[in-house]
Amino acid sequence: MWKFIAKRLGSALAVLFAASLLLYVLVINSGDPLKDLRESNADNREYLMAQRVEYMNLDAPWYGRYWDWLTGASKCLIGQCDLGRNINGVEVSGLLANAASSTLRLVVLATVIAAVLGIAIGVLTAIRQYSGLDYIVTFLTFLFFSLPVFWAAVLLKEYLAISYNDWLADPQISVGTSIAIGIVVGLVLQMFLGGSLKRRGITFFASAVFVPLVLQYSLWLNFYRYPQMGPAIIIVLTALLALSATAMSVGLKEKRVLYPALITVVLVLAMYYATFYMLLEPNGWILFFGLVLAVVIPAAIGRFMGGRLRKAAMSVSIITGVAGAALTIIDHLFRAWPRFLDVKGRPIATIGSSTANLEGGFWDHFLDNGTQLLMPTILLAVISLASYSRYTRSSMLEVQRQDYIRTARSKGLSERTVIFRHAFRNAMIPIATIAAFDFAGLIGGAVITERVFGWKGMGEMFATGLDHVDPAPVMAFFLVTGTAAILFNLLADIVYALLDPRIRV
């Protein structure tokens, strides 16, 4: 394995060198970096041109400039990156750090959402192959995948930002609209939940009645401007999730898994009251350590009480603990929402990654960053959803045709056990490699998405560098994205071999 890794890294360095040389030559020959100054009528034009020549080292031959960049970039191996200065004399290392953090904040969330939803949809459509749900989901995923990014972004700005902000000033939902929403929700739920015709009818009728009542009741509470949750709803939702996770993994009859999950639910309630005043005005470290505890403590309980099913008990308990912690955070966000509306009257912004000079506390800035992330995250997630769902569907269908799946069914195992403990785990092997490649590609930033939403990330830095014939930002972009692509390619091969013992490198 180590010999394989060394060979791959050696070949990767050669590829990076050749690609960087080609890209540098293409960029510097794509235009004139002094064009705007040559056409300027400013009195200090000559001084500005001389200053830019100094910044970009334009008086040196191209191979000398490339060598300077290469030697500076190689210092990144010892943590002393020198990526030169851009056309305005700003250090590119600082620009790269800001752009990379902005892009990672965007693409990590979008990738996680797309992967989780895409895999879930793929499994569901594989189980119900050639059903109405399968055809509709296939149509919708490819429709979203084919949407022009700029056009979809404009629609999101119009309806999710501008129209929603106008509606939020005086939230109103008519009875007719509530009934229509209930009917649509009922149709979707009965399609996803499936079952007999009687079960589908009950699901549809219950949703068509319950949803309009909830919508009208939320208007009466003025929920959209003054949302509220409270410990009772947190515990009910956490308990339902614990029961669902237990039922999907091993079944509710397995008390060694169910009891640790229910104990975790009780701990969520205890921690809610214990940390209430601490979370009124927290910081990032408090939330981080809270997340660690939400994983470590349930895992310890599941390991101690799980017995022979300790792995399943740990997994279900961790899911329950993390979900309870997330609902607790949402409860505090609900409490901070009215104050945030006073600070920022129109919460969903259409441009930028944060609001400059925003007043308020921790939760106000948290909500501001979250609302700024909302639209580009939805756009990237919807576009990536098709890939994960279709790959998962095809992988699940291939696995379900294997002999060991037929053997598992012939032994009398429940369909839940066959799907989630045999088919699903093996179907995830190729998905692991796809996720690695997808994340590596998204690190480079979504150029169109970032431009439409005014997001100062990697894609915007790359596009700006090309527009101004400025090789330093473009090469910094290449350094990050090229290295990420190669490393994630290597990581995908290693993970694939670890997941599938039949593979030998």
What is the SS3 assignment for 465-497? Answer: HHHCCCHHHHHHHHHHHHHHHHHHHHHHHHHHH
Q: Tell me what pLDDT residue 359 has.
A: 81
In tens, the pLDDT along 327-379 reads: 999 999 999 999 999 888 889 888 877 777 788 889 998 999 888 888 888 88
For the ranges 123-137, 138-152, 189-203, 232-246, the one whose mean pLDDT is highest: 232-246
Is it the case that residue 442 has pLDDT exceeding 80? no
pTM above 0.85, yes or no: no
Is it the case that residue 20 has pLDDT exceeding 70? yes
Distance CA 387, CA 441 (A): 13
The residues, ordered by sequence, that sit 6+ positions from 490 with a Cβ below 8 Å of its Cβ are 5, 8, 9, 12
Q: Tell me what pLDDT residue 466 has.
A: 87
- Mean residue pLDDT across the chain: 86
Q: State the residue for tokens 């050639």.
A: 130
DSSP class of residue 401?
Answer: T
Reported as a pLDDT band with limits 50, 70 and 90, residue 207 is very high
| Region class of 87: left (phi > 0), else alpha (psi between -120 and 50), else beta | alpha
Is it the case that residue 193 has pLDDT exceeding 80? no
Q: Tell me what pLDDT residue 445 has.
A: 56
Range name among 121-125, 314-318, 465-469, 485-489 with the lowest pLDDT average: 485-489
DSSP class of residue 246?
Answer: H
Q: Tell me what pLDDT residue 1 has.
A: 65
Reported as a pLDDT band with limits 50, 70 and 90, residue 94 is confident
Is it the case that residue 152 has pLDDT exceeding 70? yes
Is it the case that residue 504 has pLDDT exceeding 60? no
The residues, ordered by sequence, that sit 6+ positions from 106 with a Cβ below 8 Å of its Cβ are 353, 373, 376, 377, 380, 445, 446, 450, 455, 457
Q: Tell me what pLDDT residue 454 has.
A: 82
Q: Tell me what pLDDT residue 279 has.
A: 92
Q: Please compute the mean of the pLDDT values over residues 151-180 and round it to a whole number.
A: 91
In sequence order, which ranges of 194-229 are alpha helices (DSSP H)?
Answer: 197-221
For the ranges 74-83, 129-138, 157-166, the one whose mean pLDDT is highest: 157-166
Residue 47 has a CB neighbour count (10 Å cut-off) of 11
Q: Please compute the mean of the pLDDT values over residues 143-157 and round it to a whole number.
A: 85
Give yes or no for a contact between 492 and 436, defined as CB atoms under 8 angstroms apart. Answer: yes
Q: Tell me what pLDDT residue 132 has.
A: 79
DSSP class of residue 159?
Answer: I
pLDDT > 90 in the chain, percent: 29
Is it the case that residue 395 has pLDDT exceeding 80? yes
Q: Tell me what pLDDT residue 444 has.
A: 61
Is it the case that residue 462 has pLDDT exceeding 80? yes
Reported as a pLDDT band with limits 50, 70 and 90, residue 422 is confident
Is it the case that residue 292 has pLDDT exceeding 60? yes
Q: Tell me what pLDDT residue 114 has.
A: 87
Is it the case that residue 499 has pLDDT exceeding 70? no
Distance CA 252, CA 477 (A): 51
Q: Tell me what pLDDT residue 441 has.
A: 66
Q: Tell me what pLDDT residue 264 has.
A: 96
Is it the case that residue 503 has pLDDT exceeding 70? no
User: What three-state secondary structure class fits 413?
Assistant: coil
Is it the case that residue 85 has pLDDT exceeding 60? yes
Is it the case that residue 2 has pLDDT exceeding 80? no
In tens, the pLDDT along 31-76 reads: 888 887 887 777 788 888 888 888 888 888 888 889 988 888 888 8
Q: Tell me what pLDDT residue 449 has.
A: 81
Distance CA 188, CA 191 (A): 5
CA angle 333, 339, 345 (to 5 degrees): 110
Q: Please compute the mean of the pLDDT values over residues 386-411 and round it to a whole number.
A: 87
